Amino acid sequence: MKLNRFFASAKNGSENLFSNFLSQPDTSWVYVRDIENNLIYEGVVLSYSENDTIQEVLLSDVRIFHSEDGVF
């Protein structure tokens, strides 16, 4: 997308990043960080949902890594 000389943004309206990113047709693999437990989940997005208090992602083919050293 080409932006004009008035520095207009490519913002997609009022959707948040979570919904906007996961609704893209080319989004399949994602990484989800669990900071509290120092883990990273890598997987294929099967579905997602959200409301005012929670965001959920259902993944398949999940691999789990330690955040600190990347060990699988």
Per-residue pLDDT, 3: 47
Per-residue pLDDT, 64: 96
Q: What is the pLDDT along the chain (72 residues), one digit of tens a residue?
A: 554 455 555 655 556 778 888 888 888 899 999 999 999 999 999 999 988 898 899 999 999 999 888 776
Q: Is-contact 38 64, C-beta < 8 A?
A: no
pTM for this entry = 0.68
Tell me how far apart the alpha carbons of residues 48 and 24 are, in angstroms, rounded to a whole number: 12
